[in-house]
Amino acid sequence: MSYFFAFMLAMFGTTALIVPLMKWAERLRFVDLPEERKVHQVPVPRIGGIAMVVSTLVAFVIFLPISQMFTAFLAAIAVLFVFGVWDDRAELNHRVKFLGQIIAVSIVIFEGGVLIERVPFHDFEPIPYYFSVPLTYFALLGITNAINLSDGLDGLAGGTTLLSLAIVAALGFIAHDPALTMMSLVIMGSIFGFLRYNTHPARVFMGDTGSQFLGFCAGVLVVWLTQKSNVALSPAMPLLLLGFPILDTFMVMAHRIRNGQSPFVADKNHTHHKLLHLGFDHYEAVLIIYIAQAILVSGAYVLRYQLDAIIIIAYGLFCASVIAFFQITNRTGWRVHQNVSSSEASVVARAASWIVQEQHLPRWSFYVVAVTIPIYLFLGAMASASFTLDIEVLTLVLLLVLAFVYHLQKGQPFNMLERACTYITCAIIVYFMQTSDVVHADFKILQYGYFVLLAAVVSLAMRFSKGQRFTLNTMDFLVILLAVSVPNLHMRGMLDRDISEGVAMLIVLFYGIEIIIMKLSSKSDILRYALYATLGFISIKGYLVL
């Protein structure tokens, strides 16, 4: 439970800090102005990194025990924070930024004992200290700047780092290293809190404070995982865990050097710039890089105990595929979304266009969601065993709150209080459905089938509906990936099977409920009535059983 609370503290802390910081950003000159190399068109506050670092440090101090490595890690983050805030306000040159990074890396090496002592093809024998120290400097400085340089589109640096840290947390848990797991989860929580403001179109940027913080932390935690926490892991594992930022940086610097430029001069040759040049929109470019990073980190988990050569070959094939793709598109002049007249469209294309029109697939997807979720909630209350007294009291309180709010704003859309009551009701139903021994096995099988169908229908409704809708953004891709991954965590003992499946079900339900709320008209209160019936039934079920 401490993992959960630490994650939530970092997430909500970041979310809460961003709002007041945004109001002060312009006055304190923490604003990112548009320019030729950047893709945004209006000034954007760059205070997200400040919120992330502060929330992370608070959660670290509360939930982590004091150790030499931990103290050094905190001190190094504090140094990067000072230089990052300075840079976000005054636009430092790369030499001054590099100085701050060198100081931070020196602290974790000489005070925290973070060293790369094992390298691929060396038979698990430690390399000499005079090789280990410069190699660690090179690796940590490299990944810090790689993620810093990759922060060019909304949600990009945060999302890719989050995917890496998710695997680090899982592998740290398997290695029985609670400190590593906790640190990874806390930073993930701060990223989640930030991404809701940073997904396209972004309302806030993380700035160098955030991107250097994420790059440095990811590098330190990956080195600690592979060199200290679990030495059975291949020392080539960082190539997969941090693979895409590494590849992007090498491609950009190779291009600059080949053209006779300084490798530190900013340009528009990063992977995300190339994807935009090929005609992909902002959303699509970020999603493609997320998918690429997800493939790499999934490969890291699958190949974690494989030979060094296998991991390096796998990463090499991935890099070759990316490079080949851009080489081919550059030579052929291929572009996505090229205009095709309606007369040239195929029968299949015309049929697909007809299906996704608002009055066809999107409308019926909404009907399925709006009708089946209320039915599921009520049937779940009926099928579950007798609820405990505290749950019956809680549901009665929720029912009274909903009735009171509805009386005050009859005919108005759902407000935040009603949303919270709805989410709590869903959590109660799913929990008791998953843990109750009274629910018939056949009903549980039907439930699994229903949630597979519901997930598909919710995805269709979010993707194709127009006008007022719950918009699917790149952060939601990460949430959906979490929904797919969480049910498998029980295989490693990280979560009970019933609870892990319940988490995935709740994610699908929450998205479905948001769709219903966003699409409901003032004349349709089907969700409210279903909640009243469900909560009322739970409140009196204990008396009915007696």
Q: What is the domain partition of the chain in residue ranges? A: 2-332, 354-545
Tell me if 460 sits within 8 A of 351, measured CB to CB.
no
Length of the chain: 546
CA angle 257, 263, 264 (to 5 degrees): 160
What does the alpha-carbon distance between residue 109 and residue 229 come to, in Å, rounded to a whole number? 16
What does the alpha-carbon distance between residue 508 and residue 510 come to, in Å, rounded to a whole number? 6
Amino acid at 317: L
Per-residue DSSP letters for 33-52?
A: ---TT----S-EE--HHHHH
Q: Beta strands 44-45 and 31-32: pairing type?
A: antiparallel
**Which residues are CB-neighbours of 368 under 8 A, at least 6 positions away?**
453, 454, 457
pTM beyond 0.85, yes or no: no
Comparing CA positions, the residue from 369, 353, 350 lying closest to residue 460 is 369
Q: What is the pLDDT along the chain (546 residues), one digit of tens a residue?
A: 578 778 878 888 888 888 888 888 777 777 766 555 555 456 788 888 899 999 999 999 988 888 889 999 999 999 999 999 998 888 778 789 899 999 999 999 999 999 999 998 886 788 999 899 999 999 999 999 899 888 778 788 888 999 999 999 989 988 999 999 999 999 998 998 888 787 767 788 888 899 999 999 999 999 999 999 988 898 999 999 998 899 998 888 888 888 777 776 666 778 888 888 888 877 788 888 988 999 999 999 989 888 899 999 999 999 999 999 999 988 888 887 665 444 444 454 455 555 556 566 667 788 888 888 888 888 888 876 667 777 778 888 888 888 888 777 776 777 777 877 888 888 888 877 777 665 666 666 777 788 878 877 876 776 555 544 445 555 555 555 555 554 454 444 444 545 567 777 877 888 888 788 777 654 457 788 888 888 888 888 756 554
Residue 420: CA atoms inside 13 Å, Cβ hemisphere, count? 8
